Amino acid sequence: MCGIFGYTGKRKPAGILLEGLKKLEYRGYDSCGIALNTGQRLAVFKTKGPVSKLAGILRDRKIPACCCGIAHTRWATHGTPTRINAHPHLDCWKKLALVHNGIIENFAGIKKKIASEHKIKSSTDTEIIAHLIGGFLRKGLSKKRAILKTAAVLRGSFALGILFSDEPGVIWGVKKESPLMAGLGRGECFLSSDSVAMLSWTKKAVYLKDEEVARINPQGIEVFSFRGKKVFPQPVVIKQEAFSTEKGRFQHFMLKEIFEQPKVSAGILSRYAGRSEVWFGKGFLSRQAANKIRRIFIVACGTAYHAGFSSKYLFERIKGLSVEADVSSEFRYRKVDFNRNDLVIAISQSGETADTLAAVNFAKQQGCRILAVCNVENSALTRAADFVVYTLAGPEIGVASTKAFTAQMFCLYLIYLYIARARGSIVKEQETVFLAKAKKIPLLQNKILTQSLNQVRSIARQFSQYGCFLFLGRGINFPLALEGALKLKEISYIPAEGYAAGEMKHGPIALIDEYRAVVCLLSSDSLFEKMVSNMQEIKARKGKVLAITDRPSAVPKGLADKVIALPKISPEFFPLLASLPLQLFAYFVAKNLGRAIDKPRNLAKSVTVE
């Protein structure tokens, strides 16, 4: 949820640190700071607010000559977003500066213990780490021993970047359950919590493993385990992304990512779909193993949960399978008699979401097998899983998830096809027909983006004035209604609720009047008429209606104030198309209201706390 960046080398560190930090800002953006090692002392600059503000502060001050530095962008967990709580934090003697991603679960106890000996300034869990290391140094321990002793005391997850005032040109990195890597350049090295931030300078990296410590200088890196033993990790080449991490011609990452969806869909098809069958590579769930599954539990959070929930409607068509979808944060409290024939499908864009990781750990302890549907290679989720399907969406920077959502749904649909076929629930011809329909998706998504952009922009302008929204769908479009509402509320801050359309009369209908708007999702299936009846009920109460449908001519005149027409598609694929106008709608409403679209208030891209 926060971002760490470090640099040591021949160039001026401050500019590079700011540039790296800007790339990480999507992960947390309430405050930020950097620490520079001048060779004699540590100079720290911090601020509440975005990296651009920190850049302004550095422009106005005289930056001392320095050889290396660490930087951090924060999403507050312990303590409000203030300058004092921003990282880096110093020990009492200003011997070290430290940045931290993650959470120290036992920080309150440690704080109490050390409070009399140390001057603790902030309310963060991070500062106590700096004091612990500082305290051990004071007792005469070496830097390495002080770090290892501190790591042994801490409970929770942490990625740390540390500078010592008397060790110019050196950065230390520490990793436990939170990503951290070192980038290796020519005569310069980097430390980062995300490869995205290093790509402008180097493509060679060492991904630290859990419970490892790295000592980094311009010439390279030394790595030790938490037990103090030297380890020799192999550097890897960071994969060149098919998608740029720059905004390019788009004003926001969210809009850029919405427009990348046809390319993402095409990439998924070309990786996993042959002419008449799907294939997820060697080592994937075998057909025999697929046959043994009795229950599928889908777990995920937020948008990823909506993708999973939508796929439930397909998985449950498979004979002999029971399927449930749960939000990760609730799944782990369930008292179910799990067993080895249960498959847990865990979905996550980042692969770092703490709730989903906790759900996966819980399921593993119960003996379930784990299939991860994830966007980030080498993430904690993919490492914990027995099987992985990558969603191939490329880096998603906008906090509101868009292309990751359709990519997750698309991959899940193909997983459904694989399992259904493996279990003989569908025959080869049905698989071929399903795939033929799936292969039309990229083209149709492209068509929607080019044809409906202006229309959605203008509808959003008219609808921005409404103070409350309902999103309604039935069947597979119910999860889509939940997602449409989530997208709108998280970036526009307008209250929005997603509902199964049939539930409207059981309560939410009380909200409807001429000041509320309802978005109705209608695909070409047997539920179309029922959705039309719901629209009648809304109109009878003067509610404003926006219909999104691939059967526009069948919507009775006067029932919808606006209709967004989609190309005709089989109902199961409707969410893969209708998501796009829903995302655009949320985007343009938020834009009309002048919201911070890529970095909405209070949110962070990866939620690494439970």
CB of 584 to ligand M6R, least distance (A): 14
* Residues 559, 539 contacting (CB under 8 angstroms): yes
Judged by CB, which is closer to ligand M6R: 67, or 580?
580
Of the ranges 2-10, 86-94, 153-161, 349-357, which one interacts with ligand M6R (CB under 6 A)?
349-357
Query: Which position among 2, 130, 278, 301 is part of the footprint of ligand M6R (CB under 6 A)?
Result: 301
- The nearest distance, CB 134 to ligand M6R, in angstroms, is 35
By CB under 6 A, residue 50 contacts ligand M6R: no
Distance CA 114, CA 128 (A): 8
Measured distance CA(222)–CA(205) in Å, rounded: 13
Q: Which two tokens stand for residue 424?
A: 């003989």
Tell me if 85 contacts ligand M6R by CB under 6 A.
no
- Site for ligand M6R contains 2 (CB under 6 A): no
User: Site for ligand M6R (CB under 6 A): which residue of 96, 181, 221, 399?
Assistant: 399
Is residue 579 within the footprint of ligand M6R (CB under 6 A)? Answer: no
Q: How far is CA 506 from CA 471, 499, 500, 538, in A?
A: 15, 11, 11, 13
Say how far apart CA 109 and CA 122 lie, in whole Å.
Answer: 16
Which residue numbers are catalytic?
A: 2, 605
According to CB under 6 A, which residues from 487 to 506 bind ligand M6R?
490
Minimum CB distance to ligand M6R, residue 508 (Å):
22
Stretch that binds ligand M6R, among 119-127, 244-252, 301-309, 573-581 (CB under 6 A): 301-309
Minimum CB distance to ligand M6R, residue 400 (Å): 4
Kindly write down the DSSP assignment for every residue of 8-60, as one continuous string: EESS-HHHHHHHHHHHHGGG--SEEEEEEE-SS-EEEEEEES-HHHHHHHHHH
| Residue 303 binding ligand M6R, by CB under 6 A | yes
> What residues does 518 pair with on adjacent strands?
470, 545
Q: How far apart are CA 588 and CA 464, in angstroms?
A: 8
Binding of ligand M6R by 583 (CB under 6 A): no
Q: DSSP state, 273?
A: B
Residue closest to 277 by CA, chosen among 161, 385, 397, 438: 438
* Phi/psi-derived region of residue 593, left when phi > 0, alpha when psi is between -120 and 50, beta in every other case: alpha
Does residue 479 bind ligand M6R (CB under 6 A)? Answer: no
Q: Is 346 in the site for ligand M6R (CB under 6 A)?
A: no
Q: Which of 574, 568, 542 is nearest to 554 (CA)?
A: 568
Pick from 349, 406, 477, 608 the residue near ligand M6R by CB under 6 A: 349
Which has the closest alpha carbon to 173: 145, 212, 206, 214?
214
Site membership for ligand M6R, residue 125 (CB under 6 A): no
Q: Decide: is 572 part of the binding site for ligand M6R (CB under 6 A).
A: no
Would you say 193 or 303 has its CB closer to ligand M6R? 303
Comparison of 91 and 257: residue with beta carbon closer to ligand M6R = 257
Say which residue the tokens 């708007």 belong to: 517
Query: Considering beta carbons, is residue 132 or 299 the nearer one to ligand M6R?
Result: 299
Task: From 1-9, 28-36, 347-355, 499-507, give the range in contact with ligand M6R by CB under 6 A.
Answer: 347-355
Shortest Cβ 417–ligand M6R spacing (Å):
22
Is 304 among the residues that bind ligand M6R (CB under 6 A)? yes
Closest CB to ligand M6R among residues 57, 603: 603
Instruction: Report the nearest approach of ligand M6R to the CB of residue 347 (Å).
Output: 7
Alpha-carbon distance of 230 to 474, in angstroms, equals 58
Among 491, 525, 581, CA closest to 501: 525
Q: Which of 4, 11, 65, 36 shows the shortest CA–CA distance to 188?
A: 11
Nearest to 520 by CA among 477, 489, 554, 479: 477
Contacts with ligand M6R, 355-384, as mask; x by CB under 6 A: -x----------------------------
Residues 25-44, interacting with ligand M6R (CB under 6 A): none
The residues, ordered by sequence, that sit 6+ positions from 386 with a Cβ below 8 Å of its Cβ are 285, 369, 370, 371
Contact flags string 244-283 toward ligand M6R, x per CB under 6 A: ----------------------------------------
- Minimum Å gap between C-beta 592 and ligand M6R is 19
Amino acid at 356: T
Residues near ligand M6R (CB under 6 A) are 301-304, 348-350, 353, 356, 399-401, 490, 603, 606-607
